[in-house]
Chain A
Amino acid sequence: MTSARPYLYLAPTLAVLAAFTYFPLARLAELSLHAPGIGTSLGPWIGFSAYSTLFANPLFWRVAGQTLLYVFASVPIAMAIALALALLLDQPLRGVGVFRVLYYTPVVMPTVAVAALALWMFNANGGIIDYLLHAIGIGPVPWLVDGAWALPTLMIVAVWKNVGYYMIIYLAGLQSLPRAVLDAARLDGARPIARFFTITLPLLRPTTFFLAVVALIGSFQVFDFVNLMTQGGPSNATNVLVYFAYQNGFEYVQLGMAAAISLVMFAMVLMILGALAWAFNR
């Protein structure tokens, strides 16, 4: 039964993935062990010195810490809001379909348009958000100009953009739950909050795991908002790993260093995914 046909059908996909996904990982390793210049030459072998320089650079640790803060603050917050929305939208309410569509809308927006809009709304000069907060006696908040506020501001924008996507995934999870179990719990008179924590949330575990994986991978990639809204500033307060690699590669033309940063980030993502898989499948 085995013939060449299935391999032939798989060949184009495997060729593209090999060329642009797997081969580049090896290439990054090679680049990080050499000192490549602007041209196409690999440059001299330098061993692990790019890594030792990187790990000795306090800015790297700061950038890595900020990336982790961004990921581990914005992902759980967005997932919690998404779950709350999904629970509300899983009810047989009139007009529920309209709400689902509206809450999903930011997901289809280009990040560049969202960044432009956020720059305007959070602007220190004429921004509507400071105006509205002022009306209730708060602020003005130095959103993008203060080092302590800039990263949280980017998180707010990311949560706004992503929450609809997470919501739909939770909604799918809720709709695939066994109705009989939920109905039985209701008939037993379990209170809604107890029902949620003892039945719904544990049953949603596979969905939560899937979503956490997708959201973590996605959030680690954060670049667009940083490049468009803050360029990593003020004074590196919003610098994150992908932006740091981009800066090293294209601004400082340190391609070997950039490759090392990318690989270190990849290792971090793998370790976190591993820890997550362990925690969820225990």
Chain B
Amino acid sequence: MIRRCASYAVLVAGLIPLLLPFYWMALTSLKPKREVFTAVPQWWPAHPAWDNYRSAWVAEPFAGFFFNSIVVTASIVALQLALASLAAFALSRFEFRGRSLIFWIIVAALIVPVQITFIANFMTLAHLGLLNTYAALVAPYAASAFGTFLLRQAFAAVPRQLEDAARLDGCSGLAFLWHVLLPLSRPTVLAFALVAVVTHWNDYFWPLIVTNNNAVRTLPIGLGMFVGQEVTTDWNLLMAASIFVSAPMLLLFFLMQRHFVQSQLRTGSRG
């Protein structure tokens, strides 16, 4: 009983540094400018300025950035799912020469992030004339070592007998992948897709390298430019913009939290 109370006390105390920033962000986003800097902080907006959101939205071409983020994130996730499914299918259900070597080549890519290769990738894309295109934003992420690994584990767990039975029913090859493996691995597929959506929606580094034009910039870049301009002045507008950039991911997370947590439980337990 005492231990239980102590556990709750620690967990609740931990929520203060965890949640205060979220509250402060939301609160600041609703303050009129004169209430942002006060000698004694106001813990509740006396006159909520909902208009801040509209001002922030038009301060940069955020509508265009939003559209670009959706196109880029959706393209990356769709390609990763397609390529990882095919590769995982080969690695989990076929016997062939070099299988384990290929598996390790794919997994080893996890220790070579784009933060190491960016200079070379930038020069390649510049050489091909692809800077400031959706292709440049998507191409390096079209394959996912992590996704291939996860799906391989899930596919390998499907029993052999099921494959034999499906073959007798005339379902083999890609039909087996599509009609049997993927549906049976739904939780893993969903969990991986969610993590990929969040990762690429939030990505700041790579778009910063290959874009310098509003026509293809994504939301994090737009918000980053806003940070550069608004610092020390309009914190309320900056917080409003931060909220609408984060909101889709927060919403997705709260709606699908079970699957997010499950995805981590899936990878972690195999460590």
Residues of A within 8 A of B (CB): 1-3, 5-7, 9-10, 12-17, 19-25, 27-28, 31, 36, 40, 84-85, 88-89, 91, 93, 99-106, 108-113, 115-121, 123, 125-126, 128, 131, 160, 165, 168-173, 175-176, 206-207, 209-211, 217, 220-221, 223-224, 227-228, 242, 245-246, 249-250, 255, 258-259, 262-263, 265-266, 269-270, 273
CB distance from A86 to the nearest CB of B (A): 10
Complex contact B7–A17 (CB within 8 A): no
**Complex-state Cα separation, A220 to B111, whole angstroms:** 11
Query: Can you offer 10 A-B residue contacts whose CB atoms are under 8 A?
Result: A6-B96, A13-B84, A19-B139, A24-B124, A110-B249, A116-B239, A168-B261, A171-B265, A172-B267, A220-B115
A228, B205: Cβ atoms under 8 Å? no
A/B pair count, beta carbons within 8 Å = 270
Binary contact readout B154-174 vs A (1 if CB under 8 angstroms, 0 otherwise): 000000000000000000010
- Residues of B near A3 (CB, < 8 A) are 96
B67 interface hit (Cβ, 8 Å): no
Q: How many residues of B contact A (CB 8 A)?
A: 98
Instruction: Check B25 against A7 for contact (C-beta < 8 Å).
Output: no
In the bound complex, what is the Cα–Cα distance between A31 and B253 (angstroms)?
A: 42
State whether A9 and B37 are in contact (beta carbons under 8 Å apart), knowing that A255-B119, A265-B116, A266-B116 are contacts in the complex. no
Complex: how many Å from CA A172 to CA B106?
A: 24
CB distance from B127 to the nearest CB of A (A): 5
Q: Which residues of A contact B96 (CB under 8 A)?
A: 1-3, 6-7
Residues of B contacting A104 with CB < 8 Å? Answer: 253, 257, 260-261
A237 to chain B, nearest CB (A): 18
A20 B126 Cβ-Cβ under 8 A: no
Which of B7, B116, B122 is in CB contact (< 8 Å) with A91? B7
| Contact assessment for A10 and B90 in the assembled complex, using a CB-CB cutoff below 8 Å | yes
> Distance in Å from the Cβ of A264 to the closest Cβ of chain B?
10
Stretch of B15-23, B46-54, B181-189 with 4 or more beta carbons under 8 angstroms from chain A: B15-23
Structural contact, A9 and B87, CB atoms closer than 8 A: yes
Q: How far is the CB of B210 from chain A (nearest CB, A)?
A: 11
Decide if B90 touches A9 in the complex (CB within 8 Å).
Answer: yes
CB neighbours (8 Å) of A111 from chain B are: 202, 204, 220
**B250 in complex: contacting residue of A25, A91, A108, A210, CB < 8 Å:** A108
CB-CB under 8 A from A21, the residues of chain B are 109, 112, 117
Contact partners of B254 in chain A: CB under 8 A: 101
- Digit string of B138-154 for contact with A (CB within 8 Å is 1, else 0)? 01101101001000000
